[in-house]
């Protein structure tokens, strides 16, 4: 799935906070990615994150970077406070999520969401993704009511952007179904999981991991 990796960005304030916890530079980040990649459910997601981050580091002046590790602060500051930086921090937030640190992931995603919303209509797709990611982290933190509100809004945004037959819409449906299950609302969860499964089967082969995800959500319900 490309749920986290496919949309990302943030600002200077987040850069400072991020630098405090991930200060090892390019080598440390690469090592963190290598460790987390083994735990991802899909190689596609891992490759998407890896490619994105490598492109980011490549954007730094090679003359300044040569012969030393590139501090993460420098990488983030390189994007200033625009949407591109928000994409970077959401990518890093993805790594935190898959390394079982949803609290840190949530912080990054919420900051990115604020940037995307300020950026306007041109970043509605990014905002929808950031909102979805935020809901996922909230669910992992067992803040289920908050997750429910965020994911419902994300679902409506995806409906407006791509319609209810899109894979992005189905992704949010699966997450929302899991949140509803955690809240003991199985009937609502089943309806969402069934629709998500039908959409994914229409777009993807039966052995695709996203089909398996939807089947699992339906089974849990």
Tokens of 129: 């993704």
Tens of pLDDT, residue by residue over 163-201, are 999 999 999 999 999 999 999 999 999 999 999 999 999
Q: Which of the residue ranges 11-20, 21-30, 141-150, 212-221 has the most confident prediction, judged by mean pLDDT?
A: 141-150
**Does 8 have pLDDT greater than 70?**
no
Among residues 206, 216, 207, which one has the least CA distance to residue 175?
216
Torsion of CA 7, 45, 22, 142, to 10 degrees: 80
pLDDT in tens, 119-173: 888 889 888 989 999 999 999 999 999 999 999 999 999 999 999 999 999 999 9
This model's pTM is above 0.75? no
Q: Which domains does the chain have, with CATH numbers?
A: 1-124 (no CATH), 142-221 (1.25.40.10)
Cβ–Cβ under 8 Å, residues 89 and 9: yes
Cα–Cα distance, 217 to 165 (Å, whole number)? 18
Q: What does the pLDDT read at residue 36?
A: 42
Is pLDDT at 96 greater than 90 in this prediction? no
Three-class secondary structure of residue 99 per DSSP: coil
Q: Tell me what pLDDT residue 212 has.
A: 86
pLDDT of residue 71: 55
Beta bridge partners of 9: 86
- Residue ranges of the alpha helices (H) in 62-101? 62-65, 72-78, 83-98
**What is the pLDDT, as a whole number, of residue 58?**
53
Buried b / exposed e over 141-157, threshold 16 CB at 10 Å, is: eebbebbbebbebbbeb
Instruction: For residue 81, report the phi and psi dihedrals to the nearest 5 degrees.
Output: -115, 25
Mean pLDDT throughout 32-50? 47
User: Which pLDDT does position 132 carry in this prediction?
Assistant: 93
């Amino acid at each position: 799935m490309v749920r986290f990796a496919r949309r990302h960005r943030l600002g200077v304030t987040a850069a400072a906070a991020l630098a405090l916890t991930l200060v090892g530079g390019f080598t440390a980040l690469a090592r963190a990615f290598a460790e987390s990649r083994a735990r991802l459910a899909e190689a596609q997601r891992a490759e998407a994150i890896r490619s994105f981050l490598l492109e980011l580091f490549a954007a730094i002046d090679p003359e300044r970077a040569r012969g030393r590790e590139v501090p993460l602060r420098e990488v983030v500051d390189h994007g200033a406070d625009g949407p591109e930086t928000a994409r970077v921090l959401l990518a890093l937030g993805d790594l935190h999520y898959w390394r079982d640190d949803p609290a840190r992931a949530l912080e990054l995603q919420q900051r990115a969401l604020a940037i995307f919303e300020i950026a306007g209509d041109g970043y509605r797709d990014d905002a929808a993704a950031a909102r979805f990611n935020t809901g996922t982290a909230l669910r992992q933190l067992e803040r289920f009511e908050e997750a429910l509100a965020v994911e419902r809004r994300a679902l409506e945004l995806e409906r407006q952007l791509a319609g209810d037959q899109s894979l992005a819409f189905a992704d949010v449906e699966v997450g929302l179904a899991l949140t509803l299950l955690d809240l003991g609302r199985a009937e609502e969860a089943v309806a969402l999981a069934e629709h998500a499964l039908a959409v994914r089967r229409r777009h993807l082969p039966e052995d695709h991991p996203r089909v398996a995800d939807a089947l699992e959500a339906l089974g849990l319900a």
